[in-house]
Structure 1
Amino acid sequence: MSTFMHSWPRPPHALPHARLNEPPNGARVCVAGLVLVRQRPGTANGVIFLTLEDETGISNIIVWRKVHERFRRAVVSGRCLRVTGKLQRESGVVQIIAEVIEDISPMLDELARPPADNALESERAGC
């Protein structure tokens, strides 16, 4: 295989959404992002569609019934998810067929905290 074929981050490392055009169709990838949309159409036979966003773009995620049952809590309540699954391209549409779904919402709380160095400096300054 060429070097190009190995140039994207592999699971468990998350691939930025803007780079989803790099892996070949069917590759196993991992993406992470904020949950923008959860859809469970009545006509979809238990399939859930998620839309995740990171700083580079959005990803469409398909969650089959069995995967939803296994990762229900993350799918239903996660604000930020990491999804590992199979990349699928059809008619110019890119989506990921979810295999593993992790709720990484607690990481959002870390973003609001000042770095340890800044906290020490603030403490010394009497803030």
Structure 2
Amino acid sequence: MLFITIEDESGQTNIILRPALLEKYRREALGASLLAVYVVWQVEGKVRHIAAQHLVNRADPFGGLHVESYDFH
């Protein structure tokens, strides 16, 4: 299982990438510098999850654009 943390001015949340999906999209999940994640929002009682359904490396159409991540801490 892989957790991808996203952050904006309101805080952080995790996108859950389950093992079968991680196996299918391993290259995108671990290597993309610009990643599009298609998700499903899940609510079970007070627990909320964002579950990944599909990953796309968006750096490829831009000729290998390299985007550095920013550490907010």
C-alpha contact 1:52 1:59 (8 A) present in aligned 2: yes
C-alpha contact 1:60 1:94 (8 A) present in aligned 2: no
Indicate whether 1:84 and 2:38 are aligned.
yes
Q: Deviations over 1:4-54 (max 9, x none)?
A: xxxxxxxxxxxxxxxxxxxxxxxxxxxxxxxxxxxxxxxxxxx11111235
Gaps of 5+ in 1: 1-46, 110-127
C-alpha contact 2:33 2:66 (8 A) present in aligned 1: no
Q: CA RMSD in A?
A: 2.6
- Which structure is higher in helix share? 1
Quick one: distance in 1 between partners of 2:11 and 2:34? 14
Corresponding residue pairs, total: 63
- Which structure is higher in strand share? 2
Structure 1 residue 63, shift from structure 2 partner:
0.6
Structure 1 residue 86, shift from structure 2 partner:
1.1
Structure of larger gyration radius:
1
Quick one: distance in 1 between partners of 2:12 and 2:36? 13
TM-score of the pair, normalised by structure 2: 0.62
TM-score of the pair, normalised by structure 1: 0.39
Structure 1 residue 78, shift from structure 2 partner:
2.0
Gaps of 5+ in 2: 60-64, 69-73
* Overall identity of the aligned pairs, in %: 30
